Every structure is written in structure tokens, then in C-alpha cells.
Structure 1
Amino acid sequence: MKVSYLICLCIISLLLPRVLTAQTITLVNQSATSSLRGLSVVDNNIAWVSGSKGTVGVTIDAGKTWNWPVVKGFEKADFRDIEAFSDKEAVIVSSGTPALILKTIDGGINWKLCYQNNDKAYFLDALEFNGTKHGAVLGDPINNKFLILETFDAGDTWALAKTQPLALPDEAAFAASGTCFRRTKNTFSLVTGGSNARLVTLDKNVKNNPVAVNIPILHGKGSQGAFSIAYGNKKTIIVGGDYSKDNRIDSVATYSINSKPALAIQQPAGFQSCVEYLNDDIFIATGTPGSNITSDGGKTWRKIDVTSYNVCRKAKRGNLILFAGDRGRIGIFKL
């Protein structure tokens, strides 16, 4: 019995890399032409995307077809991130000037302006919710501190958070996929780029809050650094690189060893702007040179697709996995 079990395990371990390598992303034909960077997958049917030219899209059939509601009065906004709760309710964040946060509760027919700041120093990068009521928005540093806005009423009102993490000179966050800022049960975390690559964790239960750890990902220039972080199965994966030289494969991804980030043994094939946890030790990442997958918690990566995408997200409740990118690209991935 034990021998048979061991044989089965060996067969599975040999076949799994081949199965993952064979996986591809199905490109969905649709009419949007903007750059899509915001993506929120609610369940196996419902998802929202957001992007440049005031673009917002919603699907109720697992990404096969999309409706594109107009955000009236904000047709030129660049909605870099979105958080959706149903096919009716979603919150969107606009980068650039003015900094905007809007909300709909009727599927995008009407939008409520919940926050606006015309100060050119404000540049919002990412949006995260810890449940349906408590959310936070990350912005680039102002006066040497990362901007954190908080809501406790599902996005209707926003205010400065009590903790504004210190930023090093010429350090910032990337509004590339909405995933440079993540939450766990008790924390919010952000990863940085530019002059430094760091993981900064805000945990109210920790005495020296926030806690910052250096990340061994390529950094030093404005186009370099950590772009995305994902948590799963007691693993922490961080990806990034240099978007101006997106085929560089050195220092693109890290995985956690004893809670500290270490460089992947086999790196993804180029710059990655987003990483997402799927299940077990499987994570998927994407960027302009294509998409990569790991089945061993981030130690080794395999390229599975050459199409350029900006973001990939898995359903909060379910297993639907979607991708979105420039020129309105939307992809569906099945594991």
C-alpha cells in the first residue's frame, strides 16, 4: 500500500510541471481599446475591470462577454484599480490629477464621487478592502510618507489613516496592477520600487508598526523595483523587475524563506507587474513579456503564455482566473 502511494506521488510530481507548462490563457474578443490595469473577480461569474479613458467593464458570464458602463464626467480618468463586491457594487480609484475615488451600487449606471483631491502631489496607486466595509488606498509618498487613505463605510467616505509609513528618498509604489498593496486578515502590506525595493507591513498588533524588509529585487532606477505581492499557503511571493527593459530575467521574483524574501532559483521570463495566489503552492504572474507559473511556492517559474497583460486575479469566491492588459486585452485562464 505504501509503495503504491509513493509511486503515485512520483507520477504526479513528474506530470504536474508538464500540465502547468501546457496551460495557456484564452484571449477574449471585446470592444474596449484602453489600457486595463484594475481587475476584481468576485466569483465564478462576476468580474469588473478598469483602466484609461474612463473605462470600466463588468461581466456576469465568467468573462465571455462584457458591458462597458460610462463613468459620466470622468471620461478622461485613468482608473488604475477597482474593488467589486457584486455585479452592482464597485469602487474605482483614479491615478493622476485629480485623485479620485468613485462608487456605484447600480452596476455602473450611476457613480458617486466619494473622494477628490486636486493637489498634484496626490497620485493613488492601489485599493484594497479587508471585508466589505474596511478599505484602504495607497498613494505615492507626500512629505516623505506613503499616503494611506481609509474607509470604514464601504467606500462612501475616506480619510487619512493614522499610520503613514515613512518613505526613503526616491522610493515609490507602482500603479501597474493594483497589487502593490495587499491585505491579510490582520495587516495591509505594500511593496516599493525606485531607489529601493522594500516590503512594508502595517500591523496594529506589532509594537514597531510598520515593519520594513528589504527585497532582493532589481531596483535603483524609476522603472525598477517590486511591483506586486501575493500571499497564500503560508507563502509570500513578490514580483517586479524593470518595465523599461522587460526581457531582463535577473532579480524578477522572490519567495519567502523563514519569512524573509529570497530570489527564485529559476526566475520568470522577464518583468512581471502582477502575481496572484491560486491554490496549494501554485502562483501565477504576468507582465508585458508574458505570463509565468510556479507550482513550488515560487522557487521555480515556467513561462506559459507570450501575450502582454498587466494584471491577473482569481475569484474571491471561486476559481475563475482572469487577465487584463493594454488595448483592452482580457484573458481567461483555467487551472
Structure 2
Amino acid sequence: MKQALLFTFSIFSCLLSSTSLLKAQTVTILQQDKPTSIRGLSVVDDKTAWISGSKGYIAKTADGGKTWDWQQLKGYEKSDFRDIEAFSDKEAVIMSSGSPSYILKTTDGGLTWQEKYQKTDTSYFLDAMDFADATHGYILGDPINNKFLLLETKDGGETWAKSTNPPTALPGEAAFAASGTCLRVLGEGAIYIASGGKSSRLISLSKGKSEWEYANLPISQGKSSEGAFSVAIQKNKGIIVGGDYANDKMKDSVAVITTYKNRHAFQVVTHGPEGFQSSVEHIADGIFLSTGTPGSNLTTDGGLTWKQIDTTSFNVCRKAKRGKLVLLAGNGGKIALFKM
């Protein structure tokens, strides 16, 4: 009886703690009313973060998001910088979607930007960028001739070349340039791609392997506006989110869970986020934050159940690589702070 009472008390304490944690979340607007749609967000540490957006806009903070230094890159006013990867307050790489496709880099905190890659071919559409470390990174692009475009750098973004081993794409399959998080490159060299469209799959390449693995996702798919938009990986599991951005209030099949060791087995989340989600981020052990046009959602049990914590529209959420700072960004130059 004593053990039963202790077990019951333990369960009650865990539920109370989880409920209190969910009630304690806040999303606070830091910046808005700028003429740019932000989809690129890179949080370096608790002080430094960079954003990139449409119409050639870039911004950087050095005080955890309280103030931002904005600039519109001269000569790139029509570029839509859909993703950014920052390594410090001085060094960052940005990529633009659409045509022409550009990759730019700064090493002086954004005072000057050097063009490292340009492609005027209209078949090129860059979706997302991620790095395993400060030197080795990848950029994912929509399929060309049934192969996903995969650019690779081994010198911190100074030079880029096509990967000799890109993954195969199905007819009508692509990736979404919605938040820069449909591509994840882990520090150990593993690559994860969440695709959508007529088919939605988790495509992965393990460290030291040459064969890509393909797994069909039990997530909304079949239309060009549907599929998986983002993937987040922690040590023992992954969360994939998406849905239908053209019907963003639809709650069915917008989130699934997979295990790190078995990437072909998925668990459909029945109590998932409130509608379409374009970005998901691992915050702490068992805790993931997701966001999209209908608002932001949080899970504290590894993705099994979600609770909407805010109804403001955002495109992307990211946590500091070194630290606890979590930011969100979206249309109209909107930037927000997430606190637990």
C-alpha cells in the first residue's frame, strides 16, 4: 500500500510539474513592422543571433534580442534570404531562394558580404542550409532530374560544390523553404531531410554511410502545399511537423515521432499541434517547440501531447547552439522571445 501511495504521488507530481511548465510559457514580441518576411534564423548563444528575410534584409542582435541592427543588402534588394547560418557575432552565411540563387558570407559582422555562389538557372531553388560544424555544411535544393540538389562546403562556406551522392526524389516530391529546418545535419555527420508535396518522406544518411535511407511519413501529403516541413532531432528521437499551409487550421496528421535508431517506424501524434507547423526545435530533454501560421505549440513529453501556447503567426523557431536563448521570427519583420 505504501508503495502504491508513493507511486500515485509520484505520478501526480509529474503531472502537476508538466502542467505548471506548460502554463509558464511566454512568447514576447521583440520587433515587428519591418518590410520583410523572416524565415532564416540562427541563434549562436544567449547574446548573439542573426535573421535573414525577403527583400534582401538581414538583422543581428548582440544583446539577446532586445535591440537589432538591420540592413538591406545593396544589390540584393530582390533576394529572398530563406536561411542563415551564423557561427559568431562576426561570421555568417546566407542563402537566397528563387532565381538567381545566391550564397553570401560575412566575416566582419555584416559590414561587408562576399558572394560565394551564384546560379541563374531557374531550375535551382534553394530550400535550407545546415552545418555539422564550422567548416562542413550542406544546402538542400528542390529536385532536378529526380535528384535533390545538395550543395556541400568543407571550408566554412567559402566554396560550394554539388554533392556526388544526392538523394533520389519521387515525382512531385520537394522540400519546403519555410524555416530552414527541413534539413538537419548532426555534429557526427548524419543528415536528415523532411520532404513534402505529392510524397512526404524522412530521408536520412547515417555517419560514414553512402546509401540514403527513405521512409514514408504518416503525415498530410498529396498536394503541393502539404507534407513535412521541419524535423528536429535529439539524442534518441526525432519530431517531424508539417501539414497543409493552404489549410493551416487542419489538425490531422501534422506531427509524427520517430526513434533515432529506427527511422522507418513512426508514431502518429493524436493530440498534436493546433494546425500547420513550419518549424520544430528541440529545447531540452523531452521538450520541443513548434510554430507556424496558426501559432506556437509545446510538448514536454517527447511529442506525445502538445499544447498551444501562443496564437501569433511565425515561420521559424530556433534555440541557441550554445546557451538557452530561444527566438521566433515571421512575416512583417516579426521577432519574438520564448521563455520557459
Q: TM above 0.5, one fold?
A: yes
| Pair 1:319–1:5, CA change in 2 (3 A) | farther
What is the letter of the counterpart of residue 12 of structure 1?
A: C
Partner residue, 2:324: 319
Q: Corresponding residue for 1:191?
A: 194
Give me the whole-angstrom Cα distance separating, in 2, the residues matched to 1:204 and 1:268: 31
- Letter matched to residue 331 of structure 2: D
> What is the Cα deviation at residue 88 of structure 1?
1.0
Distance 1:21 1:81 in 2: 31
Post-superposition offset of 1:19: 2.4
Deviation for aligned residue 1:33: 2.5
Asked if 2 retains the 8 angstrom alpha-carbon contact of 1:233 and 1:279, the reply is no
The alpha-carbon deviation at position 5 of structure 1 amounts to 8.9
Q: Which residue is 1:100 aligned to?
A: 102
> What secondary structure sits across from 2:246 in the alignment?
helix
C-alpha displacement of 1:71: 1.7
Q: SS of the residue aligned with 1:53?
A: helix
TM-score normalised over the length of structure 1? 0.96
Aligned residues: 334
Task: Indicate the residue corresponding to 2:115 in structure 1.
Answer: 113
C-alpha distance after superposition, 1:199-239 (max 9, x if no partner): 111235336x1100111000000000000000114110000
Q: 1:174 corresponds to which residue?
A: 176
Once residues 254 and 5 of structure 1 are traced to their aligned partners in structure 2, the CA distance between those partners, rounded to angstroms, is 30
Question: What SS does the corresponding residue of 2:69 show, helix, strand or coil?
Answer: coil
1:329 maps onto 2:334 in alignment: yes
Post-superposition offset of 1:244: 0.2
The residue aligned with 1:89 is 91
* Unmatched 5+ stretches in structure 2: none
Q: How does the TM-score come out when normalised to structure 2?
A: 0.94
Q: Distance between the aligned counterparts of 1:62 and 1:242, measured in 2?
A: 32
Between the aligned partners of 2:23 and 2:306, the Cα distance in structure 1 is: 10
Q: Decide which moves more: 190-199 or 4-13.
A: 4-13
Check conservation: 1:21, 1:303, Cα contact below 8 A.
no
Which aligned segments of 4 or more residues in structure 1 are displaced greater than 6 angstroms? 1-6
Asked whether the equivalents of residues 51 and 79 of structure 1 are also in contact (C-alpha less than 8 Å), the reply is yes
RMSD, aligned α-carbons: 1.7
Matched, 1:29 2:68: no
1:266-306 CA deviation, whole Å, 9 max, x = no partner? 11100000000011100000000000000111111110000
Evaluate the alpha carbon distance shift between residue 30 and residue 248 of structure 1 in structure 2; reply closer, same or farther with a 3 A threshold.
closer
- TM-superposition CA deviations, 1:61-114 (whole Å, max 9, x none): 101110013322111100000000111110000000001100001111100000
- Tell whether the 8 Å contact from 2:33 to 2:332 is kept in structure 1 after alignment: no
Cα displacement (A) at 1:8: 5.4
- Asked if structure 2 preserves the Cα contact closer than 8 Å seen for 1:197 and 1:215, the reply is yes
Aligned to 2:192, what secondary structure does the other structure show?
A: strand
| 1:80 and 1:94 in contact (8 A); partners too | yes
User: Residue 273 of structure 1 corresponds to which residue in structure 2?
Assistant: 278
| Secondary structure of the structure 2 residue equivalent to 1:69 | strand
One-letter identity of the residue aligned with 2:220 = L
Letter of the structure 2 residue corresponding to residue 141 of structure 1: P
Equivalent pair of 1:22/1:304 in contact (CA under 8 Å): no
> What are the superposed Cα offsets for residues 168-194 of structure 1, whole Å, 9 maximum, x if unpaired?
001000000000000122311111000
Determine if contact 2:59/2:70 at 8 Å carries over to the other structure.
Answer: yes
Structure-1 separation of matches of 2:332 and 2:163: 35
The letter for the 1-side match of 2:25 is Q
Aligned pair 1:80/2:85, yes or no?
Answer: no
